[in-house]
Amino acid sequence: MEESRSARDRQLDETLEETSPASDAPANTVETGTGVRPAPLPVVVDNREASQFELVVDGQTAVLAYERTPASLVLVHTEVPPSLRGRHLADALAQAALDAAGAEGLQIVAVCPFVKAYLRKHPHREITPPGPPVSAEG
């Protein structure tokens, strides 16, 4: 009995070696914990000369145009090239703008419809409706 079990084990080992080479990618399961991770996004750059946040991917530039005042960062328009859409680049631009405004103590003024929607989905920042600047005098 022991000998036949040993022979069965050897046969099973040989079968497993033939059907499961080490070069096979691991299964993407909860048990293995492996999965495909998206490539990290490039760094968003604040191009102050052009008054826009920029994100260059595949030689194309996605932008979030703004107007900077002493007290606020007015987010005017988001533009993502059609071939780059669906990669959450506009989200990255919006988050970079929010982070920059927070670091500089500036109030966010959302004019851009995309940024308004982003802020509704991520309510960690307050939206300031566009309008004339508030004067300290008066």
Splitting the chain (138 residues) into consecutive groups of 10 residues, what average pLDDT does each group show?
62 54 52 64 92 96 97 97 95 94 93 95 62 40
Neighbouring C-beta atoms of residue 86, cutoff 10 Å: 8
Task: Output the pLDDT for position 44.
Answer: 96
Which of 133, 110, 132, 104 is CA-nearest to residue 123?
110
Task: Output the pLDDT for position 124.
Answer: 67
Task: Output the pLDDT for position 32.
Answer: 57
Residue pair 78/111 in contact (Cβ under 8 Å)? The answer is: no
Task: Output the pLDDT for position 11.
Answer: 65
β-pairing, 60-68 vs 72-79, is: antiparallel
d(CA 133, CA 138): 13
Buried b (16+ CB within 10 A) or exposed e, 10-48: eeeeeeeeeeeeeeeeeeeeeeeeeeeeeeebeebebee
Task: Output the pLDDT for position 40.
Answer: 75
Which of 57, 59, 122 is CA-nearest to residue 85?
57
d(CA 38, CA 20): 27
Task: Output the pLDDT for position 10.
Answer: 65
